[in-house]
């Protein structure tokens, strides 16, 4: 009579996968918190800014314009908060999301600066705090995809 194999035979000898957050060097973990803090600062700044802060007139305060401003505030706030937050939560596609944000920001900056107004190079300075963060993340891309998040690691 042949002995049945159990579910533990194949997986018993496998080494556990590395946790994604443990793949990051210490300075990148600290910088992730800096990126999250910077994102929360931008988020709070945008939501507490009133239309009068940008020189609004009476027609700029219509309901339609207020809704448009609210949507823009939410999108811009997400662009600043999500890169660090997704990395800290160990989301599998977090580095890919950061790459898309970086490329999009470069394209938007070049478009606005070259085609719309040459004085809009100031847009490039808005993402300068994220450059070291991205420079530390991109070399981890392959290891990051093979790692596991803390939720599945437990």
Q: How many CB atoms lie within 10 A of CB 19?
A: 16
Residue 19, helix vs strand vs coil: strand
pLDDT tens digits for range 15-69: 656 788 888 899 999 999 988 888 888 888 887 876 555 555 555 567 887 788 8
pLDDT tens digits for range 80-129: 889 999 999 988 899 999 999 989 888 888 887 777 776 666 667 778 88
Q: Taking 80 as the threshold, does the pLDDT of residue 147 lie above it?
A: no
Residue 2 burial (CB < 10 Å; 0-12/13-18/19+)? Answer: exposed
Q: Which segment of 24-28, 67-71, 130-134, 135-139 scores lowest on mean pLDDT?
A: 67-71
User: What pLDDT is stored for residue 52 in this prediction?
Assistant: 55
Tokens coding 18:
């590395």
User: What pLDDT is stored for residue 30 in this prediction?
Assistant: 92
Given a contact cutoff of 8 angstroms between Cβ atoms, the answer to whether 87 and 97 are in contact is no
User: What pLDDT is stored for residue 59 in this prediction?
Assistant: 59
pLDDT tens digits for range 7-24: 555 555 556 567 888 888
User: What pLDDT is stored for residue 55 in this prediction?
Assistant: 52
Residue 148, helix vs strand vs coil: strand
């Amino acid at each position: 009579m042949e002995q049945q194999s159990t579910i533990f035979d194949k997986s018993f000898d496998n080494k556990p996968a590395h946790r994604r957050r443990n793949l990051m060097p210490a300075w990148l973990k600290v910088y992730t918190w800096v990126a999250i803090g910077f994102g929360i600062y931008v988020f709070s700044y945008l939501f507490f800014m009133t239309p009068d802060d940008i020189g609004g007139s009476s027609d700029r305060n219509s309901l339609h314009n207020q809704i448009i401003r609210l949507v823009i505030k939410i999108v811009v706030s997400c662009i600043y908060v999500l890169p660090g937050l997704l990395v800290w939560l160990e989301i599998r596609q977090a580095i890919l999301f950061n790459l898309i944000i970086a490329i999009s920001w470069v394209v938007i900056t070049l478009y606005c600066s070259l085609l719309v107004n040459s004085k809009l190079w100031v847009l490039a300075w808005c993402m300068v705090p994220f450059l070291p963060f991205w420079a530390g993340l991109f070399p981890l891309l392959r290891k990051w995809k093979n790692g596991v998040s803390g939720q599945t690691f437990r």
